[in-house]
Amino acid sequence: MRISARADYAVRAVLELAVRQGGGDPVKAESIAAAQDIPHKFLEGILGDLRRAGVVDSRRGGGGGYRLARAAEEITVADVIRAVDGPIVSVRGVRPTGLSYAGSAEPLLPLWIALRANVRRILEGVTVADIAADALPEPVRALAAEPAAWENP
């Protein structure tokens, strides 16, 4: 499985907004791009996708910028990734539930569905607020703490 640059940048941008939300003022895209080392033009497209998905709001003008559209506790990492990349797990661009296999490949379908379920369980179980507070849920921390998680086979 691969996390796209768009998804990584989107999560980082939303996290930056969550951390700055307390100030009350919208945050300019240039400021987010500089803080997270994200190419500004690329970030503008990502922020547009996040706005259309209802993850962020924007305001034009001198005092304009971006802010979270709802509380960081209500925005999951899955919400952000779906906003910029679409379905979380797909096989050849198709959701696993839309696939069918025949013959010796039949056992692949439940494997892909199980993979999708596990990825969703993690990404839907972590909110932007969790990351901002450095308080990942314990099951996620436990998975990340496993020595094999850091090894490349």
Across the range 99-126, mean pLDDT stands at 92
Domain extent at residue 71: 5-149
Domain count, the chain: 1
The most distant pair of C-alpha atoms in the chain lies apart, rounded to whole Å, by 62
CA distance 147 to 71: 34
CATH number at residue 17: 1.10.10.10
56 φ/ψ angles, rounded to the nearest 5 degrees? -125, 160
pLDDT at 23 over 70: no
Fill in the amino acid letter for 106: E
Choice among 24-28, 38-42, 45-49, 50-54 with the minimum mean pLDDT: 24-28
pLDDT at 58: 93
pLDDT at 22 over 80: no
